[in-house]
Chains A and B, each alone.
Chain A
């Protein structure tokens, strides 16, 4: 019997649709290093337009997009970047900005909502007068939506305020916008308005938008020109990439409108999970497509055990702590999958409780 699998580990697991596959098969291509692959050019122009920036650059991953952005803004040796202590760049990108780029990170505490206090950001900016002992702050990074803080959205007002701080101090602002479209949809703010204050944004196409591969960096013409060169240096200069860009263009068209429904399913699942005795979800924190599930002691189970039990039912999730699980919704998870997942959670938790004689 074919087991039903509901893969809630991440929105990166989305597989290309029939339309994407057809687009990939028929894509017009060229050598993107020698010149410009025409489909890549089309995607990059389109993304730049959507994000309200001058130019765009297709890259193999969000990690490379952030790495390039930080390294281009901080191209002088002795640079420092301010970013959240719990941001993706700081936690999940192998420390590449330092180990490869020689940039020093200065972390500021992320609040539960993904923001950093403005006064703490400002306090972290190095005083140029002390430069004999300090690195030079050049960049502030925000993350929207904020992955480790439950996919929460940074408002346009907050983003603008951080932008003002950067301008006041002659710094740049980069937004890790892997899930920026989720933020835009959830906030009801056009995406170009949302990132208006930013000098650069990295946007993932392979997450909720569902393309098989890639991200796009957007910024000024001169920024993107430098980014293109650094992309080559890092080894991201691919040849006939129109194939992947064709899928990304389809993703933009087809799946952007589906993000709202991903958020609805997330809220449905969150409410349902919160009702299960032994589990707790801060439902008010579920703003987009990410849910963190706390496993209460009374449940008698742990994150590892629950993950394993659920896997046997065909539900795949990520364990993010001893008693914490992460669930991510995407367009290839149906409402019926959500209901199925809920029933499996209930069974798994009940099963444990029965084991423990509860």
Chain B
């Protein structure tokens, strides 16, 4: 079983994480290897919230920007700050236009429903992708779109021949839905924040074009991917017809995502956003924070990845723990059977010590773990934003999902 632990690191420049030693036996091993951390005793004086990069709180600069944002009614006309954000994002992503939305879920929902706006549509996507697993099945329950899943490999890709095999043959249309869209996810969350290369993305793009399909990238963490691969983000998504980009994750804005695509796509998306209820009024308030986030925090992602690798290396050296290779800010830690401790217990122990983590075992699909089905494990989602600011407070009890 896999448990997710998200780590937020304090800035490593002369500050330390206080980790309580206690009866948690492997902390002794932990402390040996983590010479960059000093280990304090007993009292939890600070919280390290490692559940997700969505917990990032707005910085002073963001708060100031929000307080002074130029605003207008974004439904009746255009909120000028939202317009600035959308223009900036479109430019960065190399697309014609963009649309600010309240969440990544809405970003993906709108994108799928807009590409698949005709009844009887089907979308091909990974069997372990966020849209399929964590978005309440909205593309179907709300949008009437049928999903056709293809196995996600452990690196987040799907085999090209399997994708192609999943495309419905139009000559069979009397019994088939019509495939209209392929979705990729970059970085791939459930695979541990793995990056899809520009080459792979281009190949899927060619496949889409060959069969007259559209390509959407769930790019919630696309900037992480771009930074890790050293590929400019617009190049990375060039093959895509649309991309949804989260600003409220590692980029650190309080709210929102942006969808990018062609002008006509975005025009339809805007209408669907209204229909879904995402048409907000003086939205410049939150768009202003997002603009600051883009300016301030994209440059810090590389350091998040460094800290993730540091943690991964440290945990991997502990007997009883095994860590998958880390590419961005997400770390999977598996607890081997010999440790005789359940994921739930570890999560609880960590929480008592001010480390908030997430148990995500049930979300893992079995095929990746054929050889360790009997083990409990901790899934580590490594997000450094909060610690970068050095802002910590007493733990409030975090609800575990």
Contact = CB atoms under 8 A, between A and B. Distances in A.
Contact of B274 (A10, A25, A31, A94): A94
A196 B212 CA distance: 55
Contacts of B398: 34-35
Interface in B242-281: 248, 254-256, 271, 274-281
Contacts of B73: 10, 12-13
B286 interface: yes
Contact of B67 (A21, A68, A239): A21
Contact of A235 (B56, B64, B67, B107): B107
B375 interface: no
A241 B399 contact: no
Contact of B285 (A10, A16, A229, A236): A16
Interface stretch (A56-64, A260-268, A302-310, A350-358): A56-64
A235 B71 contact: no
Contacts of B66: 21, 24-25, 243
B135 A34 contact: no
A63 B286 contact: no
A61 B280 CA distance: 6
Interface string A1-30: 000000001101111100001101110011
Contacts of A14: 282
Interface string A231-250: 01111111111011001000
A24 B67 CA distance: 6
B275 A96 contact: yes
Interface stretch (A44-52, A137-145, A178-186, A206-214): A206-214
B38 to A, nearest CB: 28
A67 interface: yes
Contact of A100 (B67, B101, B143): B143
B55 A31 contact: yes
Contacts of A240: 56-58, 248, 254-255
Given A29-B254, A232-B136, A247-B285, A64 B278 contact: yes
Contact of A213 (B63, B275, B281): B281
Contacts of B67: 21-22, 24-25
A33 interface: yes
The interface centre, meaning the residue of B51, B103, B136, B143 with most chain A CB atoms within 10 A of its CB, is B103
A233 B57 CA distance: 23
A16 B275 contact: no
Q: How large is the interface on A (under 10, 10 to 19, 20 to 34, 35 or more residues)?
A: 35 or more
A94 B278 CA distance: 12
B14 interface: no
B141 interface: yes
A26 B63 contact: yes
B141 A233 contact: yes
- The dominant DSSP class at the A interface is loop
Nearest to B397: A35
B255 A238 contact: yes
A110 B367 CA distance: 58
A234 B109 contact: yes
B285 A235 contact: no
A234 B142 contact: yes
Contact of A233 (B136, B275, B399): B136
Contact of A60 (B76, B271, B280, B284): B280
A59 B278 CA distance: 9
Interface residues of B, number: 55
A215 B84 CA distance: 25
A273 interface: no
A327 interface: no
B174 interface: no
A109 to B, nearest CB: 25
Given A34-B51, A100-B143, A100-B276, A213 B106 contact: no
Nearest to A101: B142
A94 B254 contact: no
A236 B275 contact: no
Contacts of A93: 275
Contacts of A235: 101-103, 105-107, 109-110, 138, 276, 278
A233 B278 contact: no
Contacts of A206: 280-282
A60 B55 CA distance: 19
B401 interface: yes
Nearest to A32: B255
A195 B216 CA distance: 44
Contacts of A31: 51-52, 54-55
B277 A60 contact: yes
A239 B276 contact: no
A65 interface: yes
B275 A243 contact: no
Nearest to B279: A61
A99 interface: yes
Contacts of B103: 235-239
A233 B135 contact: yes
Nearest to B103: A235
A12 B77 CA distance: 11
B361 to A, nearest CB: 17
The interface centre, meaning the residue of B51, B55, B101, B401 with most chain A CB atoms within 10 A of its CB, is B55
Given A25-B64, A243-B66, A234 B286 contact: no
Nearest to A237: B103
B75 interface: yes
Interface in B32-59: 51-52, 54-58
Contacts of B275: 63, 93-96, 99-100
Interface of A: 9-10, 12-16, 21-22, 24-26, 29-31, 33-35, 59-65, 67-68, 93-96, 99-101, 206, 212-214, 229, 232-241, 243-244, 247
12 contacts: A13-B76, A25-B67, A63-B274, A94-B271, A96-B276, A100-B275, A101-B142, A212-B282, A232-B105, A243-B58, A243-B254, A244-B286
For the complex of A and B, list the 4 residue pairs with the smallest distance between their C-beta atoms, beginning with the closest: A64-B277, A235-B106, A212-B282, A240-B254
Given A16-B282, A16-B285, A235-B102, 9 more contacts: A13-B73, A15-B72, A60-B280, A67-B276, A235-B107, A235-B278, A236-B276, A237-B103, A238-B102
